[in-house]
Structure 1
Amino acid sequence: MSIFPNAWIGRQGPTALPPRSADLTPMDYFLWGVVISDVYRVPGTTREDMVERIHQSFQRISPLVLSNVRISFRTRAELCLTENGHHFEQLL
């Protein structure tokens, strides 16, 4: 902190951490759940096996699925605006 005074960004820091909602982050509300479910469908064997499964899982995500994620993101963003940034998961 002595080199970069007041440069700490985080909880209780001099610079407030910007708000972040998992409901507005496609990686959180969609991607990780899909990839983890796919990768761990069968127990892993080796590190190389797991890396290959992760690559294959990403390759299986179709353009249609990504289009649906974009539509869902827009819906979520609009709900967030409608609710003035307050909780809106109950509306999904």
Structure 2
Amino acid sequence: GLKVNTAIYIPEALDGPVGEWEALCLPAGLGSRPQNLPYHWSPDLWPPSSPDCNPLDYFFWGMVENKTSKHAHNTLDSLRAAIVEEFANMKKDVVAKACGRFRHRLEMVVAADGGYIEK
């Protein structure tokens, strides 16, 4: 898969609606483009590629995969439709509970100094 880093993320995130918001709402010189990053931010502050830090990775994809692989899909369209249906029918309380664990998971990653955390 694609490893997302600042070279990928900054243009994707800031050249769309976020970039427009930034231009409208932030005083000149306070944007988040790389040249405006504080001098004390080093490249190692970029978050690691950790599934522990992403609710889609640590919960949602696993749940959707479990539900959509209960029967075989003969076509990519069939699989895609099943995935879309599972996300569309996901209960709000399930989403809220998974996202509610996000801060705790980030705290566990920080406590592990960025290393592996037990589930």
Question: Structure 1 49/88 Cα, relative in aligned 2: closer, same or farther at 3 Å?
Answer: closer
Letter in 1 for 2:91: S
5+ long unaligned stretches in structure 2: 1-6, 9-42
Secondary structure of the structure 2 residue equivalent to 1:88: coil
Cα offset, 1:48, TM superposition: 2.5
How far, CA to CA, are the matches of 1:61 and 1:24 in structure 2?
A: 21
Letter in 1 for 2:79: M
Cα offset, 1:46, TM superposition: 2.5
How far, CA to CA, are the matches of 1:77 and 1:50 in structure 2?
A: 32
Question: Structure 1 80/48 Cα, relative in aligned 2: closer, same or farther at 3 Å?
Answer: closer
Q: Please, what TM-score do these two structures have when normalized by structure 2? A: 0.53
5+ long unaligned stretches in structure 1: 1-7, 10-14
Residue in 2 that maps onto 1:52: 81
Aligned length: 77
Summarize deviations over 1:29-56 as a string: whole Å, max 9, x none. Answer: 1111111111111111233322211111
Q: Does 1:20 align with 2:49?
A: yes
Structure 1 segments of 4 or more deviating over 6 A? none
Q: Please, what TM-score do these two structures have when normalized by structure 1? A: 0.66
Q: CA RMSD in A?
A: 2.4
